[in-house]
């Protein structure tokens, strides 16, 4: 059975999974990268379900995708994996149980959060969409710290399918606890549960199991809030009324009732919320580090001097980064004097802990116990502290070395991560370290710009796409007059003779459109014996009957592609393959690459062979010459091409577009014809001076191969199938 916690074993079309960040009863959520845009996203991969369940969830997701509101988590794409598992992609947001943010001392902040959530909920209700499963785990934070509501209808659908998650019961309304379908007022009850949790730090109704929790929702009275937030009690009592008729009747009414608490009007009536959740700008680039850092500092400011983990959100943070080199031993941090304040003592302890984390290589991981969080928490307590600043400086120097290494190794995604981390630390570094980083950053921006220009000069669209996210993050510095958009367009448009290649496909050359004839890409050389052998190993295709042209006795020799009657190496063209064999090969290749391949038409073969270079027949190709020494041959050319029969592919002069072997070596099967008259074209090693290189044409049966006939493939390029990527020059 597949383990959903090992993302490298899971293939999601168009995405690269990074790591799991959460799980529920029906799905696992992963941090991922959308390959086409190099965009960070979240992927929810559903567990294997029956067709009915998958269909219901898929329809629900399509409904959710139509919801558009700044406080609702949008859906980018819905799809299925190769084994039929449902997945959908979403924005990658900071995920946190908001109750862990210690909102108990910030009631006005709670009001602002609730207004935003109720505005989102009201928008959905007006569209006839009920959430049915609101809980703190479904509230995410965006980059501005604003809440977003996720998973509309998922919990309800899961419950109907017998897949209810264990935590769902803590937020369900009394009518849902009795088994009734949720309505809009059920959602408002769940918002009331969230509010109670935010204000008190605990749930209002809890039991030892799901049944006792459901009974508590139905029978127990609404508990009292702590005295410091007692002004919220009337609002909570109405929100958590047992009967839906006694509750708030709409999200707008519920939000308006908050005016009695904070004096502000609801969102949507021209007023901003009284207080907005805020994540410091410098911390956004490191996901959950900001929240963890602020809470760490707060905990150290209020707790005893002994280090302990601070309360922090269940945050999405940057993946762990292993140290590539042992860092220098940290400088000894001077102990505070005996008269030091509690803040000084705690700052000192934080720095000592950070020094130890740095020495162990724990720069940014694990979350809650790494040098970055600890140094920056110390600087929050004591801005400008020399020990913490020195530690940040040392970390910044380490990151600069790692960034240089990632750039040299062409690990662009890692370079982007290191760049963002270094920018974060540089904002808190000492003046010298900050100045050095800025100078190094300027030089790095120039290097990336030069690499982009070099890729543009080579028309290397793949390299341009790879470098572009890093160039944008810096941003890169380009020479005067360089137009990146124009360079990308030029790199993405092939010209005659460009070398192209699909992933897993053969080396091709581009042949542009001519008049009404469309463009295509043709294999640079004939299919080799080694290529054909790989096809046979994969498909177990039996060898076809093979003959030698004009030799009646060859029918008794049992010739095959493996034993054509003369010695061949793997880089020689495959012979003794029938037209049927060639068709089977292109079908296999198309399936293996996911792209459309076929045999060339006669017109395409001639267009690819156009532009015969200057030279003798034996320079142009492997033809019938003195090297064959056939006593019965009266068509022999007087030159010597060095090969009596087949020669290695790519050995002679190419056509104007760079296709080799079209003037000799083997004739080649073409598309079309009929069963008894399949067409081949071109000179072979046994054809001499009586035929022109491009005029040679013949026909044969579909199921018989010949010792002088091979084939090559064409890659279709049309409105549906884009041209393959430009290949490296040495491929």
Give the separation between CA 3 and CA 347, rounded to whole angstroms: 43
Please report how the helices 371-381 and 342-359 are oriented relative to each other, as an axis angle in degrees rounded to 10. 160
Question: In the predicted model, is pLDDT for residue 547 greater than 90?
Answer: yes
Q: What is the pLDDT of residue 370?
A: 85
Q: What is the pTM of this model?
A: 0.43
pLDDT at 279: 35
What angle in degrees, to the nearest 10, is found between the helix axes of 484-492 and 461-473? 160
pLDDT at residue number 573: 98
Question: Which of 16-20, 63-67, 156-160, 601-605 has maximum average pLDDT?
Answer: 601-605
Query: pLDDT at position 487, please?
Result: 85
- Specify the range with the lowest mean pLDDT, choosing from 196-210, 315-329, 377-391, 555-569: 315-329
Per-residue pLDDT reduced to its tens digit, 443-500: 999 999 999 999 888 877 778 989 999 999 899 999 999 998 888 877 777 888 888 9
Tokens 């089977």 correspond to: 584
Is the Cβ–Cβ distance between 686 and 624 less than 8 Å?
yes
Q: Which domains does the chain have, with CATH numbers?
A: 7-92 (3.30.200.20), 95-262 (1.10.510.10), 281-429 (no CATH), 500-716 (3.90.1580.10)
pLDDT of 202 above 80: yes
Poorest-confidence range of 88-97, 127-136, 229-238, 328-337?
328-337
pLDDT band at 697 (very low <50, low <70, confident <90, very high): very high
pLDDT surpasses 60 at 303: no
pLDDT for 167: 58
Helix locations, 145-302, DSSP H: 154-160, 174-177, 184-200, 210-219, 233-239, 251-256, 259-262, 281-284, 289-302
pLDDT digits (tens, 9 = 90+) for 620-630: 899 998 888 76
Can you tell me the distance from the alpha carbon of 445 to that of 553, in angstroms, rounded to the nearest whole number? 71
pLDDT above 50 (res 329): no
Q: Give a three-class secondary structure readout of 120-153.
A: HHHHHHHCCCCCCCCCHHHEEECCCCCEEECCCC
Torsion of CA 6, 9, 13, 15, to 10 degrees: 50
| Cβ contact 662:650 at 8 Å | no
Per-residue tokens: 294: 């602020």
* Mean pLDDT for all residues in the chain: 82
The pLDDT, as a whole number, for residue 309 is 34
pLDDT at 634: 61
Residue 718 CB burial class (10 angstroms; 0-12, 13-18, ≥19): exposed
Q: Are 139 and 149 in contact (CB under 8 A)?
A: yes
Peptide bond between residue 366 and the one before it cis (omega within 30 degrees of 0): yes
pLDDT band at 327 (very low <50, low <70, confident <90, very high): very low
Instruction: Say if residue 699's pLDDT is above 80.
Output: yes
Supply the pLDDT for residue 177: 78
Q: Is the pLDDT of residue 176 over 60?
A: yes
% of the chain surpassing 70 pLDDT: 83
Q: Does the structure show a pLDDT above 50 at 312?
A: no
Q: Is the pLDDT of residue 335 over 90?
A: no
76 vs 646, residue with greater confidence: 646
């Amino acid at each position: 059975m597949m383990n959903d916690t090992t993302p490298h074993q899971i293939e999601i079309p168009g995405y690269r999974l990074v790591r799991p960040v959460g799980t529920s009863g029906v799905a696992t959520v992963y941090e991922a990268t959308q390959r086409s845009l190099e965009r960070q996203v979240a992927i929810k991969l559903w567990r294997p379900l029956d067709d009915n369940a998958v269909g219901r969830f898929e329809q629900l997701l399509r409904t959710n995708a139509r919801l558009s509101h700044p406080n609702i988590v949008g859906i980018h794409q819905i799809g299925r994996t190769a084994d039929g598992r449902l997945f959908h992609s979403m924005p990658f947001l900071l995920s946190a149980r908001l109750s862990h943010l210690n909102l108990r001392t910030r009631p006005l902040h709670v009001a602002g959060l609730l207004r935003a959530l109720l505005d989102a909920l009201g928008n959905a209700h007006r569209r006839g969409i009920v959430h049915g499963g609101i809980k703190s785990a479904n509230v995410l934070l965006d980059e501005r710290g604003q809440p977003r509501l996720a998973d509309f209808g998922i919990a309800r659908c899961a419950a109907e399918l017998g897949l209810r998650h264990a935590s769902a019961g803590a937020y369900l309304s009394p009518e849902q606890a009795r088994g009734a379908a949720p309505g809009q007022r059920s959602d408002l009850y769940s918002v009331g549960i969230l509010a109670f949790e935010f204000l008190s730090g605990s749930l209002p109704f809890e039991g030892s199991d799901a049944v006792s929790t459901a009974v508590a929702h139905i029978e127990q009275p609404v508990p009292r809030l702590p005295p410091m937030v007692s002004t919220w009690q009337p609002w909570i009592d109405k929100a958590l009324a047992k009967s839906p008729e006694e509750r708030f009747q709409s999200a707008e009414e519920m939000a308006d009732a908050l005016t009695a608490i904070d004096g502000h009007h609801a969102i949507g009536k021209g007023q901003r919320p009284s207080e907005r959740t805020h994540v410091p700008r410098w911390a956004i680039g490191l996901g959950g580090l900001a929240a963890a850092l602020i809470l760490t500092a707060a905990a150290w400011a209020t707790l005893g001097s002994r280090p302990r983990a601070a309360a922090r959100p269940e945050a999405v943070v940057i993946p762990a980064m292993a140290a590539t080199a042992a860092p220098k031993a940290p400088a000894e941090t001077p102990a505070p004097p005996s008269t030091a304040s509690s803040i000084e003592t705690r700052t000192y302890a934080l720095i000592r802990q950070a020094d130890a984390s740095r020495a162990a290589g724990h720069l940014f991981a694990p979350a809650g116990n790494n040098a970055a969080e600890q140094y920056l928490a110390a600087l929050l307590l004591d801005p400008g502290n020399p020990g913490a600043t020195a530690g940040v400086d040392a970390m910044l120097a380490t990151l600069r070395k790692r960034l240089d290494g990632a750039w040299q190794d062409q690990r662009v995604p890692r370079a982007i991560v290191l760049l963002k981390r270094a920018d974060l630390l540089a904002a808190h570094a000492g003046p010298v370290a900050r100045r050095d980083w800025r100078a190094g950053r300027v030089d790095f921006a120039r290097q990336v710009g030069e690499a982009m220009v070099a890729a543009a000069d080579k028309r290397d669209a793949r390299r341009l796409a790879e470098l572009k996210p890093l160039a944008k993050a810096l941003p890169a510095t380009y020479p005067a007059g360089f137009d990146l958009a124009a360079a990308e367009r030029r790199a993405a448009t092939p010209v005659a003779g460009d070398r192209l290649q699909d992933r897993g496909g053969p080396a091709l050359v581009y042949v542009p459109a001519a008049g009404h004839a469309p463009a295509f890409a043709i294999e640079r050389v004939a299919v080799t014996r080694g290529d054909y052998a790989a096809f046979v190993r994969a498909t177990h295709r039996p060898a076809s009957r093979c003959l030698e042209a004009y030799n009646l006795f060859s029918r008794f020799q049992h010739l095959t592609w493996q034993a054509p009657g003369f010695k061949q190496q793997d880089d020689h063209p495959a012979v003794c393959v029938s037209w049927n064999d060639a068709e089977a090969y292109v079908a296999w290749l198309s399936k293996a690459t996911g792209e459309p391949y076929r045999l060339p038409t006669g017109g395409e073969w001639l267009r690819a062979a156009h532009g015969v270079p200057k030279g003798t027949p034996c320079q142009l190709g492997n033809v019938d010459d003195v090297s064959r020494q056939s006593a019965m041959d009266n068509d022999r050319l007087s030159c010597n091409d060095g090969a009596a029969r087949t020669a290695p592919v790519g050995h002679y002069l190419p056509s104007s577009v760079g296709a080799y072997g079209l003037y000799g070596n083997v004739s080649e099967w073409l598309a079309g014809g009929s069963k008894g008259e399949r067409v081949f074209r071109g000179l072979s090693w046994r054809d001499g001076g009586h035929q022109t290189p491009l005029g040679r044409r013949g026909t044969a049966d579909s199921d018989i191969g010949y010792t002088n006939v091979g084939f090559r493939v064409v890659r279709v390029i049309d409105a549906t199938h884009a041209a393959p990527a430009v290949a490296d020059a040495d491929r």
